Amino acid sequence: MYSILIFTTFLAAITTAFPTLSARHKTNYQQWALSIPRPARFSHISTHTTTKRAVSLNATAIPNFSNTKITSTDSSLTSTASTAISRLLSHLKSDTETFSGLSWWQSANAYTAIIDFDLHTSSQNYKDTVGASLLALIPLGDPNQQNPQGLRNGFNDDTLWWALACLDAYEAYGDSEFLQEAKRLWEWVKSTSVIVQTGIAPNMGGIKRTHVVSNKCDLKNGVYWTTNRDESYINSITTGLFMQVSARLYEVETSARYLSAATGAGDWLRKHTVDESVKIVDEDGVNGETCSVNAGTFTYNTGKSLHDSVENTANKIRRLYRRSNLPLQIHQLRRLPARSRRGRRSSNGNYTLDRR
């Protein structure tokens, strides 16, 4: 029930809330939720291949969603979610199998949200539509890439969002192609972007990095944000996603390499970006060359940890946590829901958590 409530709240915020907003807030919300560029990471580093803006903490008001009706019965939740899915599917483009108005990684999350409906309701209502579209998308790849190879692109967090979508589709519909694509995406990230040695400029998976990874701050098992050879940023969201994909693959195949990868990524998060005193992801990431930390309690970082904790409570993956003693234990995360409701949105569109 709790998972259904979270899922429905997410879809309702995307769809049913829009008509209740003023024109100004509606525009602001759409820009924030659907169209904003990636948040700035290290604005002083010029090697990233994406537009960056300096993070500003001049908070602005976020739209008021108090008029969004959230109910707690199975029938009303299912009905609300189905309505939201119908609206979302109206934006699915048949030529690219992506969603209009959404970026590549956001389309991955849209697929995941719809597939999760089938998972949470033990149905296959969307197998022949969304499931088939995702199968068709695997060979098509990212339409913005020159020579796409499956669902990956140059951003490792994007790639891992698609791996999660494929794992959910495999669990919901059973098609082995989904599992194979998830494994292929995981292998790509692990072989090119998981730090296994410090004090050198890594040469992994055919990508010769130009920056030496410092040996002064124990960066092993962290995951590079991108596959750009000039990349030096190791961030929370990418490492957290790698941890989750690794754990879920271990659930499917019980291979020690997946368990080791999940444990290592979790250890990196605990050492570098999780504030143990308040149990939130307090830092966005680390510059691998200088060990400087990029502060920022962005909700998507802690939200990913919160999502993991709910998922681990709700399904079979909780057995992995009992056996492997991964760092993000359920009892450590119990205070996250209350903390995740307190925060503010900065002027560049990022929502940050208060630490009190």
Contact 198, 167 (CB under 8 A): no
Show the tokens assigned to 299. Answer: 């909700």
Query: d(Cα 150, Cα 324) in Å, to the nearest integer?
Result: 31
Contact 4, 74 (CB under 8 A): yes
Q: Is 79 helix (H, G, I), strand (E, B) or coil?
A: helix
137-to-113, 128, 142, 186 alpha-carbon distances in Å: 17, 14, 8, 18
pLDDT in the model for residue 297: 75
Give buried/exposed letters for 279-304 (b at 16+ CB in 10 A, else e): bbbbbbbbbbbeeeebebbbbbbbbb
Q: Single out the residue of 184, 188, 227, 221 nearest to residue 207, CA to CA.
A: 227
Provide the residue-wise pLDDT of the chain in tens; the chain has 356 residues: 444 444 544 454 444 333 333 333 334 433 433 333 334 433 333 333 333 333 333 334 444 544 555 555 667 888 889 999 999 999 999 999 999 999 999 999 999 999 999 998 999 999 999 999 999 999 999 998 888 899 999 999 999 999 999 999 999 999 999 999 999 999 999 999 999 999 999 999 999 999 999 999 999 999 999 999 999 999 999 999 999 999 999 989 989 999 999 999 989 988 888 777 767 887 889 999 999 988 777 778 887 766 655 555 444 444 444 445 444 444 444 444 444 444 444 444 454 444 44
Query: d(Cα 229, Cα 292) in Å, to the nearest integer?
Result: 19
pLDDT in the model for residue 47: 34
CB-count exposure of residue 78 (10 Å: 0-12, 13-18, 19+): middle
Position of tokens 């949105």?
345
> Which residues, other chains included, contact 31 with Cβ-Cβ below 8 Å and sequence gap of 6+?
349
Q: Where are the alpha helices (DSSP H) in 73-103?
A: 74-89
> Which residues, other chains included, contact 193 with Cβ-Cβ below 8 Å and sequence gap of 6+?
156, 204, 205, 207, 223, 224, 227, 238
CA angle 64, 67, 68 (to 5 degrees): 100
Contact 67, 20 (CB under 8 A): yes
Query: d(Cα 77, Cα 24) in Å, to the nearest integer?
Result: 29
pLDDT in the model for residue 152: 96
Q: Largest alpha-carbon pair distance within the chain? A: 57
> Which residues, other chains included, contact 171 with Cβ-Cβ below 8 Å and sequence gap of 6+?
119
Query: d(Cα 134, Cα 182) in Å, to the nearest integer?
Result: 12
